[in-house]
Structure formats: structure tokens, C-alpha cells
Amino acid sequence: MNSSDIKIFIVDDDPSVRRSMARLLNATGYHVETLSSAEDYLQTKRSRGPGCLVLDLQMQGLNGLELQKTLTEAGREIPIVFVSGHAHVPESVQAMKGGAVDFLTKPFDQKAFLAAIDRAIAKDHVTRKAQTDQRSVDSRLALLTPREDEVLWQVVKGRLNKQIAFKLEISEKTVKVHRARVMEKMRAGSVADLVRLTEKTNGKNSSSEQ
Amino acid sequence: MGKTLRQNSKKAIPIVPGMPMEPGQRHSGYPFQTGIIGARKDESQFFIEITRRWVWSADAKGLFTYVSPSVSDTLGYSPRDLVGRKHFFDQCRSSKAKREMLTCIKNRRPICHMLHDVRHKDGRVRWLSTNATPKLAKDGRFLGYVGLDEDITESVAGQLKLAESEARLSAILENTTDLIWSVEPKKYRLLFWNSAFTEFVKDEYGVPLREGMLCDEVLPLKVAERWKLFFAQVLRDGPFELKYVLHSKKRTFHLAFNLVRNQGVVSSISVFARDITESSKAEEVLLKAHQKLAESQARLSAVVESTSDLIWAVDAKEFGLLTYNTPFADYCEQGLGIRPALGFTPKQLTSTARAGEWESFYRRALEKGPFRRELATISLDRILDIYFTIIKHEGVIFGIAVFGRDVTVERRAQRELEQQRLEMTRFQRVSTIGQLAASLAHQLSQPLTAILANARAATRFISASPPRLLEIQDILEDIIRDDRRAAEVIGQLGTLLNPKRSPFVSLPLNNLVMQADELLRSDAANRQVIVEMHLGTALPNVSGDPVQLTQVILNVMLNGLEAMENSSAKEKPLLVRTFLAADGSVQVCISDNGPGLPPDRLNQLFEPFYTTKKQGLGMGLSVSKAILERHEGRISAENNLEGGATFIISLPAVVSSHSLVKQTQPR
């Protein structure tokens, strides 16, 4: 993984802490952007490349948890590593439930910190790849005719051609033709492939099964 | 007479035996008529010479023809000087006597016991008694007188004295207001009385008195019977006195009954009656006063005895006990092992060292007046609140009165309360720490985090090629700064936890406010309350213990934060202002936007254990108040017109130092 492509945001109202964490991540090879408040972070443009957010829990104004919530609601998913002056159990639980990668209690050593950053970035990679894959599946699904779409969801459910023909009130031969087209358009080698690809698509056509 | 006799016997004049010499005989009769002259001449001569009388004869012209020699003993003249001279009648000063005598002579009558005065040769007055008989010739011719004169000067003087003393006595009897009378001892007939008695009887019974009256004649029957009993009693038992109340006039008499004896026989009963109404009234008043005094003394004594306080008094010289009550005695017995007695000095009651201490207290009371002292007694482990005062009457100091109250229980309770308060202060402090622990941990973790991260970064920069030295330099500077920051935090923690009282120092109040703000910052952030500071410029310093004063400001600010936490008006800040008040004190005003204070309980705010908080102990403000009082400062609270409460902390300005305090804006 090329660290230089990765950008890490640090949001902390303590300038000294902010600066030191930035230095450490810098020395490790990350691009770092430091911000003194949650509000400031919300003003930044969504970065294209992978990265993560190092977020202080207690801040004047919008605090860490509130920023996390705001980001989730806005669909701005970014792995968050929380740092806090001391271990607040309720807050840490809330943070982790909200999808935080880690919750570090200050002062922390680089090992734990960098490991958390690594995990966050890895997570971001996964998230970003999944998002890319999904976008590809979606584009393939978009190529299907309505009848092909109907056939696809019947196939994914494991129904036989005969059953599909009955359900859709078409001939078995026609089902086979549609099925071949679907496999081709979805670039699926097998029914198993087809099932995996459509797994993430939360059955927007699931209503058609009825 | 005996004297003259002895003198004459020295002249070896023989005394004729059988010569009658009784004193009474001299005055009786007329010797010349009884034929003395006719006696033998020797014998008559002897008789004439030994007697103090002298005989004389005078011719018809009244000139002495013979005077016996004893005249010289009385009058200093020799017979020779007198023969041919006139008798001494001319010298008589009493005209009455002179006249009588001249009448006698003129009528040739015998002169009998004529008392007259003559002059001694040296000029002294002598009294003579003259007896004389006219001498008549056979033819009846008047030849003159033969007489016998006697010097009765002494007897006259005695009589005069008696008369004088009688007159004096009479004057006394008549002039006194005392009633004096006497009665004879048989039928109690009135013998003698004075004018006071006359008036009294006339006034009281309307009876004029005369000699020999009986009791019944003067007094009503019942009264008379009573008096008869008195007279009988004095006759039976001898003199006595009694108080006699005359009800009709509401007067009281003091009566004295006495017996007058003449040659061992009771001749009369004398009664003296003195009106003692006034004095008996005075006596009665005095008696009542005495009774009242006795009563009040009894009451006082009851109080003195029933109190549990120790009361005693000592004299002003030796400090010996003048009086003491039972609690004092018990105390001495239990504490000192000695039962006290009057006159005991401190040395007799206690050890020499303690006695010296007591003596110095007594002396101090004498010199400087009353004072109060609290003493812990070693022996009984008690605390006595002792009041020394001097006993003074009309400028004379009689001694020192001491009141000792056992205040052990009170003092212990006070001490316990103080102890509790100290513990509470400490607890409060710890609890404040608890509340602030997050803040402190946060504040401490920040520099530590920064230092660690910086150090790690530096390690990486150093091993880079080439080492990124400029960045390392920045890092080192940051590390130093963060380290100082951490040290400050630790310092604050230390002062907050350390219960010892630091000495008062002169310091700017703003610094304390900022320190409190610093400590509360994250707390405020957590409660989402904005703290707004308006710190006055050029404020005079205040004097005090920085830790305690910070704690006060902290407490009040924390109260404000807590009040505002549940308030809907969170957009408004907790306003902290410092300024110089009109009265010259430096003040901190902390205004919150909370629900305000219950108006009817404003005066209870600073009492211990008063709280409006669910989990409050009610110690914060009372401790704050105590701290401020120690600093001669004040704390007060009021509700704002627009809602919320304002607490005003006021501290006296340090006059000497007008150090300018730089205004520091909050971050």
C-alpha cells in the first residue's frame, strides 16, 4: 500500500497534541491534515483517496461523538480512531458502536496509535473496494431488460427453469434464452458467481419475487 | 472635826475623859444658856479652844469685847485683831440674813442659827452659823451679845452642791421627754413625777396629778391592774425592762422599773418610760431590711449552690478563700484531692506551679480589672471558662470573685464541629477533585501524549537520511513546553490536595479566577456551558491563601455550571467578572443562567448542609464562606432580574501594592 496516497485528518483542539501526532504520522509517511475543531473538519472536501480520521473526544463546540454521528448521517464514511484524555467507558462504547476503528486513551505510544491508523486505512481500503465492486455490479444490472432482471432474481433464489417458466408464464425455452443473456451481461461464470454478485444489492427487485 | 482634834492634841492639851463629843451635840441647844459660862473657867477655856466654833461677846454698840482664839482657824484673824471691831454682820452679802440679824439685834432678841457669809482674812468666803444671846444687866440694861459662831462653810458648800445637783437633776427630769415617776411600794401611791409625765397623763387620761394618787385614780381599771402587776413584779424580782405598746396612740414605750432603796429598805419604785415609737419603727424597717437581705442572701445562696458553675471568692492579699460553693468544693476534692476550707490559699489547694498561675490571675484582676480566661485543667481533663472580677464596696477592694463554668462539652463539640468542618472541607476538596479528575487527567494526558508522539517522531526524523534536524529542533521545543504544562497541572493538583494552609500572600485576584477557569474548562465543555470572563484591569492585589481562594472561586463557578447544566438557556454564558468595587474591595461576580435561588432561603445558602442539589452535601458554600471570613472577605448571593443567580465574592484590597495586573483574555 502506498502511504503517500493516503491522507489522515487529525481533529483535536489541543494544538500541541495536534502538532505532535501530525509529526509522527508524517514521519511514518502519511499525508496529514490537522484541524482544531469538528466544525472545521465538516468544511473540508471529501477526499478521493483513502484515509482516516483521528478524532479527539472532548472538544469545545461539536465533540467527537457528535461529529461521528453527523458524518454517518451524511453518508460520509471514514474510519475513525478516537483519542481521549481519559477512558470514558460510556463514550467509548458509543464510539465503537458508531463504527469507530479504535478508541485510544491518551497518552498512547506509537505502536498502538500506528496500528490503529493501519487498521483504519485497511478498513477504508476494504470499504472503498466494496464500494467500487458494488458500483460495477450495479452497472451490469442496469444492462438487463426487465424480463432478464426478473429471471435473474428467480435464478438467484435457486429456482429451476421449469419453475421460472411457470411463474413468469413463459416457455421453458424462453427462460433459457433470458438466462444465458443474464449470465453474459453479468459476466458470471456460474450461478454461484451470480449469487455473490447480487448479494450486496439489497434486492431492490425483491418485490418482484412476490 | 477629828482633824482639828488631832492637831490640838499635838499641842499637848489634855483631853478630859467623859467629855461628850458626839457630832449631833454641837448643834443642839444654846451652850451659853445652859451655863457654860458659869462652868469652871479652865474647863470652859479648854472647851472654847478645842472647838471649831468660837465664842464672842460684844458690847451694846456691837463691837467685839472678846473673841475666842479658834476664830483664827476659820477666819484668819487673831482675837486681838477683832476686839473693838464690829461683828461680821455688815459683811453679810445676803441682805435677807443681814436684815433679819439687824432686826434681832434691834429688838434685843436672841439670834438663832443665823446663816451668813463672811470674808476670811485672805478674802475667801466662809459661811458662819451664828447663835447669840443678848446680855442684860440686872437692871435690864442691854449690855450687848454673847455668841457662838460656827464655820459651816463645808456643810453649806455640800448643801449648795446638793441643791445644784438637785436643780440639775430636776432640770433634766423636767426637760426630758422621757416620762419619769415613782410610787411608794405599798399601795403604789404616786410620790414623784416629772412634767412630761404630767402632760402625758393629762393628755392620755385627762387626769390632773397630785401626790399620793393611787393607780386606780389615774388609770382605767384594767390598765391600773396591769401596772399593779408591774410594780409587784419589780418588788418581787427586782429591776426589769419591757416594751410597752400603747395601742390608743400606736406608740411604743420602753419601760424601766427600778427600786429606790433607803438604808436597805425599798422606799419607792421609779419608772422611766421612753417613747421608742420612731426608733422601733426604724428598727422594724431595719428588721425587714434584714429579713429581705437574709431572703435575698438565701436566694443568692440557693442560686450559688444549685448552679453547676464553680463560684468562689478570695481575699485581695493572700488570696485565701473567702467563700465558695459546693461545686467548687467538689471540684477541688475530685480534681485536686483536697476538700477546701475558708482561708485556703492557692498554695494549699494546688501545686506550687499552678498556685503561681492562679496568683497571677488574681493579681491581674486586681491590677487590670475583670477578665475572662479559658483554662484546661490537667487533673480532670475539663475546660473551664473562668471569669475573674473584683469585689468592691465604696472604693475598697475586698477580694476577687471567680466564676468558673465547665465548658468542656461545648468546647469539645465545637472542636468536633471544627474537625468535622475540616474533614468536610477536605472531603469537599476531594469531591471537587473527583469532579475535576476528568479535567485534570485530560489536562495531564494532553502534554504527555504530545511529548510521546513528538519523541517518536523525532526518533524517526533522526534516523532519516539526512536527519531532519530543523524538525527535531521544533519537536524538542514543543516537548519542553509540554513538559512545563504537565508540571503546572501537577502543581495545581498538589495544591488542591494539600490541606495545609499556606501563608497569606499578596496576589492578583485575576490570576486565581483564571486558574479556576483553567481547572473548570473541560468540565464546562462537558456541560456545554460557555464561560465568559471579563477581568478588570489594574486591580489592586488581594491578600490570601491562593489555594483556598481558588477553591472558593472554583466552588462558586462549579455551582454556576451545575445550575446551568440543566438549563434550557445554554446559549448564555456563565459570566465571570472581576472589578474594583465602590467600597474599595476587589470583587468577583459569577452570574449563571440557571433556575436561580429559592428567594425565601437566600439567607440559608451559606449554612452548612443546605443544598438545592440532588447529590449535594451542602458544604461548598459554607466552606467558601468560612474561608472568606478568614480572609476578611465576604460572599453574598442574589437572584438576577433576568433569571439565574449571581454570587459576589469580595476581598479587601491590599492597599500598599497597586501592582498592575495584565488583563488576560480567556482562550
- Report if residue A161 sits inside a domain: yes
The CATH number linked to A196 is: 1.10.10.10
Query: Both A83 and A164 in a single domain?
Result: no
- Which chain A residues are within 8 Å of B456, Cβ to Cβ? 24, 27, 109-110
Backbone angles phi, psi at B272, to 5 degrees: -115, 130
Residues A116 and A148 in one domain: no
Residue found by looking up cell 506550687 in the block: B352
In the prediction, which pLDDT does B440 show?
A: 67
Question: Residue by residue, what is the 3-state secondary structure of B41-80?
Answer: HHHHHHHHHHCCCEEEEEECCCEEEEECCCHHHHHCCCHH
Asked if B594 contacts B556 with a C-beta cutoff of 8 angstroms, the reply is no
Confidence label for B659 from pLDDT (cuts 50, 70 and 90): very low
Contact assignment for B446 to A83 by CB distance below 8 Å: no
Does B453 sit within 8 Å of A110, measured CB to CB? yes
Q: What is the DSSP letter of B138?
A: T
> Do residues A67 and A117 share a domain?
yes
Cβ pair B449:A26 closer than 8 A: no
What is the three-state SS of chain A? CCHHHCEEEEECCCHHHHHHHHHHHHHHCCEEEEECCHHHHHHCCCCCCCEEEEEECCCCCCCHHHHHHHHHHCCCCCCEEEEECCCCHHHHHHHHHCCCCEEEECCCCHHHHHHHHHHHHHHHHHHHHHHHHHHHHHHHHCCCCHHHHHHHHHHHCCCCHHHHHHHHCCCHHHHHHHHHHHHHHCCCCCHHHHHHHHHCCCCCCHHHHC
Work out the mean pLDDT of chain A and round it to a whole number.
Answer: 85
Burial of B614 from C-beta contacts in 10 A (0-12 / 13-18 / 19+): exposed
Residue carrying C-alpha cell 483664827: B72
CA of B219: how far to CAs of B62, B180, B214, B231, B233, in Å? 63, 16, 9, 14, 18
The answer to whether residues A154 and A129 belong to one domain is: no
pLDDT tens sequence across B7-22: 443 444 444 444 444 4
Q: Region B359-381: what's the mean pLDDT?
A: 83
Q: Are residues A94 and A178 in the same domain?
A: no
Between strands A51-56 and A7-11, the pairing is parallel
The CB density around residue B4, as the number of other CB atoms within 10 Å, is 13
Computed over every residue of chain B, the mean pLDDT equals 78
Give B32's pLDDT tier (boundaries 50, 70, 90). Answer: very low
What whole-number distance in Å separates Cα of residue B592 and Cα of residue B556?
Answer: 10
Cell of B52: 471649831
Are residue A118 and residue A198 in the same domain, yes or no? no
Bridge partners (DSSP) of residue B292 are: none
CB A184: neighbour CB atoms within 10 A? 11
Q: What residues of B are in contact with residue A83 (Cβ under 8 Å)?
A: 449
Q: What is the pLDDT of residues B154-172, one digit of tens each?
A: 777 777 777 888 788 778 7
Identify the pLDDT of residue B25. 42
Cell digits for B251? 406608740
Q: State the DSSP code for B597.
A: -
Confidence at A81, pLDDT banded by 50, 70, 90: very high
**Domain C-terminal end among A106, A133, A160:** A133
Mean pLDDT for B466-470 is: 86
A10 close to B (CB below 8 A): no
pLDDT tens digits for range B217-258: 888 888 888 899 999 999 998 889 888 887 777 788 888 998
Grade residue A116 by pLDDT with cuts at 50, 70 and 90.
Answer: very high
Q: What is the band of A63 on the pLDDT scale with cuts at 50, 70, 90? A: confident
Length in residues, chain B: 667
Residue type, A110: Q
The pLDDT tens digits of the residues spanning B74-84 come to 788 888 888 88
Structural domain range at position A192: 143-209
Whether B480 has its CB under 8 Å from any CB of chain A: the answer is no
* Per-residue pLDDT at A160 exceeds 80: yes
Q: Are A95 and A172 found together in one domain?
A: no
From the list B248, B237, B242, B249, the residue with the least C-alpha distance to B274 is B242
Q: Is the dihedral of CA B218, B223, B225, B229 positive or negative?
A: negative
Collect all residues of chain B within an 8 Å Cβ-Cβ radius of residue A63: 525
Find which of A18, A20, A28, A117 to mutate to test the B interface (most B CBs within 10 Å of its CB).
A20
Q: What local confidence, expressed as pLDDT, does residue B125 receive?
A: 80
Between B139 and B439, name the one with better pLDDT.
B139
Pair (A37, A122) in one structural domain: yes
Cell output for A34: 490537522
CA torsion sign for B498, B504, B506, B510 is: positive
Exposed, middle or buried, A40 (CB in 10 Å: 0-12/13-18/19+)?
A: middle
Same domain membership, residue A122 and residue A33: yes
A20, A63, A88 member nearest B453 (Cβ): A20
Answer yes or no: same fold for B2-153 and B176-275: yes
Contacts of B401 (CB under 8 A, 6+ apart): B311, B312, B313, B388, B389, B390, B391
Query: What confidence category does residue B451 fall into, taking pLDDT thresholds of 50, 70 and 90?
Result: very high
Whether chain B has a CB inside 8 Å of the CB on A85: the answer is yes
Our count of domains for chain A comes to 2
B647 alpha-carbon distance from chain centroid: 56
Return the C-alpha cell found at B627: 474561608
Q: Please report, for residues A171, B357, B379, B404, B405, the alpha-carbon distance to residue B375 in angstroms, rounded to integers and kept in the order given.
A: 119, 11, 12, 9, 10
**What stretch of H or E contains B240?**
strand B240-246
Block residue for cell numbers 476577687 = B400
When pLDDT is averaged across residues B403-412 and rounded to a whole number, the result is: 83
Domain contains A138 = no
The pLDDT tens digits of the residues spanning B310-326 come to 889 898 888 889 888 88
B127: confidence class by pLDDT, cuts 50, 70, 90: confident
Q: How far apart are CA B403 and CA B303, in angstroms?
A: 13
Residue A36 has pLDDT above 70, yes or no: yes
What is the topology classification, in CATH, of domain B505-667? Heat Shock Protein 90 (3.30.565)
Section B330-354 average pLDDT = 84
Contacts B441 to A, Cβ<8 Å: 85-86
Instruction: Please tell me the predicted confidence (pLDDT) of residue B656.
Output: 58
As a whole-number percent, the residues of chain B with pLDDT over 90 amount to 7
Angle B186-B189-B192 (CA atoms, 0-180°, nearest 5)? 120
Q: Where are the domains of chain B?
A: 2-153, 176-275, 307-406, 407-500, 505-667
Q: For residue A104, give the nearest of A120, A128, A124 by alpha carbon.
A: A120
Let me know if residue A25 belongs to a domain.
yes
Least confident of A121-130, B65-74, B263-272: B65-74
Per-residue pLDDT band for B2 (boundaries 50, 70, 90) equals very low
Residues near A28 by Cβ (< 8 Å), separated by ≥ 6?
A3, A114, A117, B460
- List the single range of A76-90, B43-57, B111-125 with lowest mean pLDDT: B43-57
Q: What is the pTM of this model?
A: 0.37
The pLDDT of B106-123, averaged and rounded, is 81
Considering only CB atoms, which chain B residues are within 8 Å of A19? 450, 454, 478
ipTM of the complex: 0.71
Instruction: State which of A113, A133, A153 marks the end of a domain.
Output: A133
B452 min Cα distance to partner chain A (Å)? 7
Q: Where are the beta strands (DSSP E) in B101-189?
A: 111-119, 125-136, 142-151, 179-183
Type of residue at B133? T
Read off the CATH number of the domain in which A106 is found: 3.40.50.2300
Q: Residue B639 to residues A79, B534, B556, B595, B626: CA-CA distances in angstroms?
A: 49, 20, 14, 9, 22
Last residue of a domain, one of A133, A168, A188: A133
Strand pairing report for B531-535 and B574-580: parallel
Q: B485: which chain A residues are within 8 Å (Cβ-Cβ)?
A: 16
Residues 6+ apart with CB under 8 A from A174: A165
Find out whether the peptide bond into A107 is cis, omega within 30 degrees of 0.
yes
- Residues A195, A109, single domain; the answer is no
CB A54 within 8 A of CB A81: yes
CATH topology of domain B307-406: Beta-Lactamase (3.30.450)
User: Residue holding cell 468535622?
Assistant: B420
Mutate to test the interface with B, among A88, A105, A106, A108 (most CBs of B within 10 A): A106
Stretch B118-139: mean pLDDT: 83
Nearest C-alpha neighbor of B61 from the set B86, B26, B41, B81: B86
Closest-CA residue of B relative to A84 is: B442
Q: Does A4 touch chain B (CB under 8 A)?
A: no
Which class in CATH covers the domain with range B2-153? alpha beta
Is CATH 3.30.450.20 the right assignment for the domain spanning B176-275? yes
Residue A16, min C-alpha distance to chain B (Å): 6
Query: Which stretch of A96-110, A183-197, B358-372, B487-501 has the lowest confidence by average pLDDT?
Result: B487-501
Checking B605-610 for CB contacts under 8 A at 24+ apart, the result is B605/B637, B606/B635, B608/B421, B608/B424
Does residue B417 register a pLDDT over 60? yes
Q: Which three cell numbers stand for residue B84?
A: 473693838
- A31 with A60, same domain: the answer is yes
Verify that A84 and A179 share a domain, yes or no.
Answer: no
Residues B189/B216, Cβ–Cβ less than 8 Å: no
Could you report the per-residue pLDDT of B497-556, keeping only the tens digit for each?
A: 555 556 788 889 998 898 888 877 777 777 778 888 999 888 899 988 887 888 888 888
Instruction: Write down the pLDDT at residue B628.
Output: 85
